[in-house]
Amino acid sequence: MTNKQPDQNHAKIAAARDFISANLPIALVPSIPEIRLYKAGPQSGLWRLAEQDQEFGSPYWAHHWGGGLVLARYLLDRPDAAAGRRVLDLGAGSGIVGIAAAKAGAAEVIAADVDPYAIAAIGLNAAVNGVTILPVLTDLTKGEPPATDIVCVGDLFYETALAKRVTAFLDLCLARGIEILIGDPWRAHLPQSRLRLLAEYVVPDFGAATSSRPSAVFAFERKTPRQSRGDEDQS
């Protein structure tokens, strides 16, 4: 998706923006009354986008995720974590985490996603919430981190291969002196041995309209000497 010609992506993002603003309702966000987001509902007709575009993937950007909800709540409750700092929202989806960082007073927010529909949604959601965010359509896990002070990761540990790539990228960020916050509902591929628990909230997760589950905010930390030695032993 991201290796398409820039103007092809541009056209897709523009069409997605028109579709979202015409068809998706702007909804309140559970546990986050400070933020409203375009959200898929029964009448949204997202299947029409899928019919027009063979590359249309899962519309993560049109839903709330436990990891994003807790990380957004954390940033709003503790604005010092983001205020005055450059924030990267990695795997931004709807942009909820970046929006919370901007509301907390971040100096600059970049929201990165590999899905052009997410890029469209992030721009619209930022406008609805009266904040400025720079959406970028790229897979940042493939290279050097951009200039930033803190990387926020909401719910990006849901697949084995992706979790490995994200963890390697976060290690590179740590090596560059960048702080990392993760929000996650304890999914299977969360790198738990590298995390320090900062806060826990009970929030709805995707697909759980009526039930909630504990989700947590963590600091991602350097490997301990013992973990590094273990890596060497395995190589």
Ligand X SMILES: C[S@@+](CC[C@H](N)C(=O)[O-])C[C@H]1O[C@@H](n2cnc3c(N)ncnc32)[C@H](O)[C@@H]1O
Near ligand X by CB under 6 A: residue from 53, 108, 139, 149? 139
Q: List the one residue from 16, 49, 82, 94 that touches ligand X (CB under 6 A).
A: 94
Residue 143 C-alpha from the chain's centroid: 18
Among 81, 87, 118, 170, binds ligand X (CB under 6 A): 118
Residue span binding ligand X (CB under 6 A) among the ranges 5-13, 17-25, 42-50, 136-144:
136-144
Q: Is 205 in the site for ligand X (CB under 6 A)?
A: no
Q: Does 32 bind ligand X (CB under 6 A)?
A: no
Residue nearest to ligand X (CB): 68
CA atoms of 35 and 80, how far apart (whole Å): 19
Cα–Cα distance between 49 and 164 in angstroms, integer? 31
Q: How far is CA 180 from CA 10, 50, 233, in A?
A: 30, 34, 27
Stretch that binds ligand X, among 12-20, 110-118, 123-131, 191-199 (CB under 6 A): 110-118
CA distance 193 to 24: 39
Q: Which of residues 166-185 bind ligand X (CB under 6 A)?
A: none
To 5 degrees, how large is the angle CA 108–CA 112–CA 115?
150
Q: Is 114 in the site for ligand X (CB under 6 A)?
A: yes
Applying CB under 6 A, does 61 fall inside the site for ligand X?
Answer: yes
DSSP secondary structure string for all residues of 110-149: EEEES-HHHHHHHHHHHHHTT---EEEES-GGGSPPPS-S
Examine residue 134 and tell whether it contacts ligand X (CB under 6 A). Answer: no
With b meaning 16 or more CB within 10 Å and e meaning fewer, what string describes 158-195? beeeebeebbebbbebbeeebbbbbbbbebebbbeebb
Regarding 204 and contact with ligand X (CB under 6 A), the answer is no
Of 92, 99, 170, 203, the one binding ligand X by CB under 6 A: 92
Among 24, 44, 75, 93, binds ligand X (CB under 6 A): 93
Q: Is 141 in the site for ligand X (CB under 6 A)?
A: yes
CA 191 to centroid of chain Cα atoms: 17
Identity of the residue, 209 or 230, whose beta carbon is nearer to ligand X in the bound complex: 209
Residues that bind ligand X in the complex, under the rule CB under 6 A: 60-61, 65, 67-68, 90-94, 96-97, 112-115, 118, 139-141, 154-156, 158, 162
